[in-house]
Amino acid sequence: MQPQVHPSGPSRLTLISSVHKTFENSVFRSVLVQSFLILAITETKTFLLPAEFVFVDLTSLKSVRHFVQKFRDRSLPLHVLINNAGTMLVPERRTEDGFEFHFCLNYLSHFLLTNMLLDLLKTSGREGRCSRIINMASATHYAGEINLEDLNKRVVYSSHGAYSQSKLALVLFTYYLQEQLAAGGFSVTVNAVDPGMVDTALYDNLWTLAQMMKKPVASILFRTPAEGASISVYAAAASEMEGVGGCYLYNGQKTQSSDLSYDSELQTKLWKKSCELVGLQRGGERGGVRFMFSHPPE
């Protein structure tokens, strides 16, 4: 998929969170073709592309806050934020903040990152040239459930359940934030993107037999990293996506997400709970009455 982009003009600064080199390299290369400038936050230090890379521990909220402060100190605009980093099927593990690993890396760190950069996205966007936020979703969210009293899966843990919960949280977050931005009249859009099954290191945590079975299947059923990346780039750069938000995109098409993801009460409760967990003021009440966020103290 090759998106039809805006006519040539000033480069747009894109921030991409990344973990897996194969998929992210494809995203970076594709975005570069669209005349975007890239600054990537990554847990790996070995990329060979004309982009700026900053190491951030996405399992540490302190590390995310430190990055945001350094970024803000540079007085740069921000036009596109791609919340792309993720992990899957990790054995039960806690972060330094005590959060379940999938929940923190896949969702909560991106929730904090987005909110702390939101004012820059709002001031960088304008009518006809909106800033864009892209959240990397997954079809596993259809099987996802969220227990707001046990988001860290301490009662019953399964890596599949933890992963699907984190991806459902991202979709709920996408819809809630889009509604708030639209109600406030801000030139920022938010969409969830499902790249499908992409042959990347995301599957490295499969057990041995599954790894052996995956190899021949991947060449037939899985998308290449470049094919998977094209969906993210479409959401980030396509002219037909200008001003369009609150969508779940699969293969470049607007698709119905899970019924649970449209539960407005759950969206609100998750938002407020997430603000509490990361230390943000609980702004963004429905209807756009309040939309304030603060930087939590170190």
Enumerate the active-site residues: 163
The token pair that represents 215 in the structure block: 């190899």
Give CA–CA dist 92/244, Å, rounded.
37
- The CB-based long-range contact list for 276-283 (8 Å cut-off, 24+ gap) reads 277/99, 277/108, 277/151, 278/61, 278/108, 278/111, 278/112, 278/115, 279/61, 280/112, 280/115
Give CA–CA dist 78/62, Å, rounded.
21
The token pair that represents 225 in the structure block: 């990293």
The token pair that represents 120 in the structure block: 């820059």
Give CA–CA dist 191/248, Å, rounded.
6
Answer whether 48's CB lies under 8 Å from 60's CB: no
Give CA–CA dist 276/67, Å, rounded.
20
